[in-house]
Amino acid sequence: MSGAETEPGVLVLAATPIGRVADAPPRLAEELADADVVAAEDTRRLKRLTGELGVEVTGRVVSYFEGNEQRRTPALLGSLLAGERVLLVTDAGMPSVSDPGYRLVAAAVEAGVPVTAVPGPSAVLTALAVSGLPVDRFCFEGFLPRKAGERARRLAELASERRTMVFFEAPHRTEAALEAMAQAWGGERPAAVCRELTKTHEEVRRGPLAELVAWAADGVRGEVTLVVQGADDVPAVSTDDSSLRAAVAEREDRGMTRKEAIAEVAVLAGVPKREVYDLVHKSGPGEATP
Q: What is the CATH number of the domain that holds 154?
A: 3.30.950.10
172 touches 218 (CB < 8 A): no
pLDDT tens-digit profile of 46-66? 999 999 999 999 999 999 999
Q: Is residue 3 part of a domain?
A: no
Beta strands 190-195; 10-14: pairing state: unpaired
Q: Is residue 165 part of a domain?
A: yes
Q: Please compute the mean of the pLDDT values over residues 254-281 and round it to a whole number.
A: 83
| Among the listed residues 115, 110, 101, 32, the one whose alpha carbon sits nearest the alpha carbon of residue 72 | 101
Q: Which domain holds residue 173?
A: 124-228
Number of folded domains that form the chain: 3
User: Is the per-residue pLDDT at 33 higher than 90?
Assistant: yes
For residue 290, what pLDDT is reported?
40
For residue 286, what pLDDT is reported?
42
Q: Is residue 107 part of a domain?
A: yes
For residue 236, what pLDDT is reported?
65
Q: Please compute the mean of the pLDDT values over residues 9-26 and round it to a whole number.
A: 94
Q: Are residues 47 and 98 in the same domain?
A: yes
Q: Are residues 163 and 183 in the same domain?
A: yes
User: Is the per-residue pLDDT at 43 higher than 70?
Assistant: yes
**Rounded mean pLDDT of the chain?**
90
Q: Is residue 236 part of a domain?
A: no
Residue type, 82: A
Q: Are residues 117 and 129 in the same domain?
A: no
Q: What is the CATH number of the domain that holds 18?
A: 3.40.1010.10
Count of Cβ atoms closer than 10 Å to residue 272 Cβ: 10
User: Is the per-residue pLDDT at 2 higher than 60?
Assistant: no
- Residue 62: left if φ>0, alpha if ψ -120 to 50, beta else—which one? beta
Residue type, 126: T
pLDDT tens-digit profile of 174-215? 999 999 999 989 899 999 999 999 999 999 999 999 999 999
pLDDT tens-digit profile of 206-244? 999 999 999 999 999 999 999 999 998 666 677 788 888
The more confidently predicted of residues 34 and 247 is: 34
- Those residues with Cβ within 8 angstroms of residue 178's Cβ, 6 or more apart along the chain or in another chain: 191, 193, 209, 212, 213, 216, 226
Beta strands 85-89; 37-40: pairing state: parallel
